[in-house]
A and B are shown apart, each in its own frame.
Chain A
């Protein structure tokens, strides 16, 4: 009984506070508009008002969640206890919501200009939140909705737990997969060379036709994702494999982009180098930048390294836009008319470009994979795990850390060149600290050192925000919340890295290899 009430109380307080927070930043309106869009239930033409049912739906949803969360972890329980817990949670959050709505409503009706303090609190929006009625009536509606749907949510969750529907479903799914894997020996199948070839071909065909089919908008979004996958793979070598927290990764991205831009754009230098050579040059220059940064500082560990590299990233951006280098980099204006890739004079269409990006992503994945499973990759992971012991085991840690940084920088240089040529522009404001943080988040959210994790992370963190345009104002909020939730729920990342499984090499294998070497 005590735990039921306690859970209800805490869930109610949390939901109430979350509601007030969302209200203050204006998310309730955005959320209900999104629900409306989803249901095709948009603006009411006759009255010019937004339909109120979207808002009610949103409230109902919050109430249900509240009820479910109030019962989380309680399992099988008496039905009246469950309902009581739900009711308590609903009432508490309802009272908090009641106060918030009543207060904002009354103040705004008295003529206080709330939007002076909080931009999202303009009278029209508040009017909508009050269902175009009096504060008291609106507040009562909130209270009733929260209470009723919280009870409903609790009841639902009780039903599910008492019948064990959810657990049963989960269990059967799980055992099904396990059985299927067991009988078919699924991992064995994928070791077969021919099966892998067929899988590879199918993937290649899909990847070839997708950019043709889904149009230029999608090509643009997926292009961004692809560039960030390459960036993520590069940073993953530095952070994920060798465990060096480098926060100024954007510096290499910027160097790559600017090298490419300056070598191909008509102004300010008019070199007009062949594009493929320019890509190579970007990678080389980025790598050299990596060397420049790495040689003096890679003896630092942990926090110190993070701060020094953070500064390096910012210095690069400030240098690019400084008066000092305006003659070289065009300063804050940036470099325009950067060369586009072409094939014997024919400029790439967005489809060709996407194909190029996909090819490069695959190559980058291949290289990252091969590195990971090699002597070099093992040395990196050893350094990440325990640098002192790694060195005492005979690894030249300094050299390996520099190697990781150089390879990471080369990846970033490639990504920078692609970025500049796709946008046909390179300006200093494209290379802010946010880029470093974004890439780092891709690595962390995806799963440190995990290649599929990074692809997934790039989709989640760069692809989804582009698709959810309505949420643009809240991108940082969602980003922060996602990181916090990830760190609590799944600190190892969405798709954690798996160590490669080794088998003892058979004698035949050894003989074959020995003869091959002799040749």
Chain B
């Protein structure tokens, strides 16, 4: 029995009169790739923001390895081992690529400002160690040679990878990816899928992701949670989700499920 990295019970988040996330339960098992899917405005990103501490949920509790993280500020949550990326890439644009990574390592470093002025050996050792790790990480995500480019000058795909690298720099136990393949062509998407898988397999990181590309979701997910209008309408393995009536209706409209049944039957008859 694997442990649960995230265990969220009855999460509710309202904006004014709109209940964006309504009594949602979510369990993310360790070393898994879990996905959250749902039509636009279903509350996926809101749920993400609740877990990473951007929003404080009105109801329910969120446990990270059994410890409650509900009302903690985001930097504490990051220190505990959750890091994330953003739907619309948010890098530190003026800073160079390697500096972005070094900021990501912030929580794993100790030097304070006085040591920075004095430059004692311990400080210099820590700096160069963190630099070494940063360069390794850049090599891992395939950004070697771009170390000193300002982050905002990178092409789109590279920015996505840098954002993931920055999230990885804090050595998280849980990595949350908000639409990692948005705006990518099929080849880039395949690379990203392989990359995410490698994160879990060789780095032993648990991954929770939001994704719209069904091909990606069905390909890599161990477990899928489907949201619609803030409610959890389905949960399970990819195969289960694919044949789930409510999910099909949520995506394609009422009646679509019956239609798809008919289509399947016809196909079977022809065969």
Contacts and interface: CB of A to CB of B under 8 A. Distances in A.
Interface of A: 367, 370-371, 373-379, 381-382, 384-386, 388-397, 403, 407, 499, 501-502, 504-505, 509-510, 513-514, 516-517, 519
Nearest to A406: B113
Counting chain A CB atoms within 10 Å of each CB, the highest count among B104, B113, B134 belongs to B113
B117 A381 contact: no
A514 B112 CA distance: 19
Contact of A397 (B75, B99, B104, B119): B75
B13 to A, nearest CB: 17
Contacts of A386: 90, 92
Nearest to B128: A505
16 contacts: A374-B116, A378-B102, A385-B94, A389-B86, A391-B74, A393-B83, A393-B103, A395-B103, A499-B94, A499-B95, A499-B150, A504-B132, A504-B147, A505-B131, A513-B128, A516-B125
Contacts of B166: 393
B117 A367 contact: yes
Contact of B95 (A367, A375, A385): A385
B129 interface: yes
A379 B103 CA distance: 6
A375 B109 contact: yes
Counting chain A CB atoms within 10 Å of each CB, the highest count among B109, B116, B124, B147 belongs to B116
B104 to A, nearest CB: 6
A374 B147 CA distance: 17
B113 A517 contact: no
Contact of A392 (B78, B111, B127, B135): B78
B170 A393 contact: yes
B92 A382 contact: yes
Contact of A517 (B74, B121, B150): B121
A501 B131 CA distance: 12
Contact of A504 (B113, B117, B131): B131
Given A382-B103, A502-B131, A505-B128, A394 B147 contact: no
Given A376-B112, A499-B96, A388 B78 contact: no
Nearest to B123: A374
A367 B115 CA distance: 11
A510 B116 contact: no
B93 interface: yes
A385 B147 contact: no
A169 B118 CA distance: 46
B75 A382 contact: no
A5 B53 CA distance: 61
Nearest to B102: A378
B6 interface: no
B106 interface: yes
A510 B132 contact: yes
A395 B75 CA distance: 6
A232 B84 CA distance: 37
Interface string B64-87: 000000000111011100011010
A504 B150 contact: no
Contact of B106 (A367, A379, A385, A502): A379
B225 interface: no
Chain B, interface size category, equals: 35 or more
Nearest to B114: A376
Nearest to A372: B116
A385 B116 contact: no
B257 interface: no
A513 B106 contact: no
Given A385-B95, A391-B74, A394-B170, A513 B125 contact: yes
Contacts of A502: 96, 98-99, 131, 134, 147-148
Contacts of A509: 128
Given A382-B103, A391-B73, A370 B119 contact: yes
Contact of B113 (A384, A407, A519): A407
Given A373-B116, A374-B116, A376-B116, 15 more contacts: A374-B127, A375-B130, A377-B116, A379-B103, A386-B92, A388-B74, A394-B83, A394-B170, A396-B75, A499-B150, A502-B134, A504-B132, A504-B147, A510-B128, A516-B121
B106 A505 contact: no
Given A499-B95, A513-B128, A390 B112 contact: no
Contacts of B112: 376
Contacts of A396: 75
A381 B104 contact: no
A395 B104 CA distance: 9
A392 B74 contact: yes
A371 B73 CA distance: 26
Nearest to A379: B106
A504 B93 contact: no
A371 B116 contact: yes
B116 A393 contact: no
Contacts of B78: 392-394
Contact of A374 (B94, B113, B170): B113
A501 B96 CA distance: 8
A260 B252 CA distance: 75
B122 interface: yes
A322 B227 CA distance: 63
A9 B52 CA distance: 59
A381 B93 CA distance: 10
Contacts of B95: 378, 381-382, 385, 499
Nearest to B116: A374
B139 to A, nearest CB: 9
A387 B117 CA distance: 24
A505 B132 contact: yes
A403 B94 CA distance: 22
Counting chain A CB atoms within 10 Å of each CB, the highest count among B77, B78, B106 belongs to B106
A290 to B, nearest CB: 14
Interface in B133-150: 134-135, 147-148, 150
A505 B136 CA distance: 11
B263 interface: no
B199 interface: no
B195 interface: no
B54 interface: yes
B111 A374 contact: yes
Nearest to B111: A375
A382 B166 CA distance: 12
Interface string B159-183: 0000000100010000000000000
A371 B113 contact: yes
Contacts of B256: none
Contacts of B131: 502, 504-505
B146 to A, nearest CB: 12
B54 A392 contact: yes
Contacts of B125: 513-514, 516-517
A371 B116 CA distance: 6
B218 interface: no
B220 interface: no
A378 B98 CA distance: 11
Contacts of B109: 375
Contacts of A403: 113
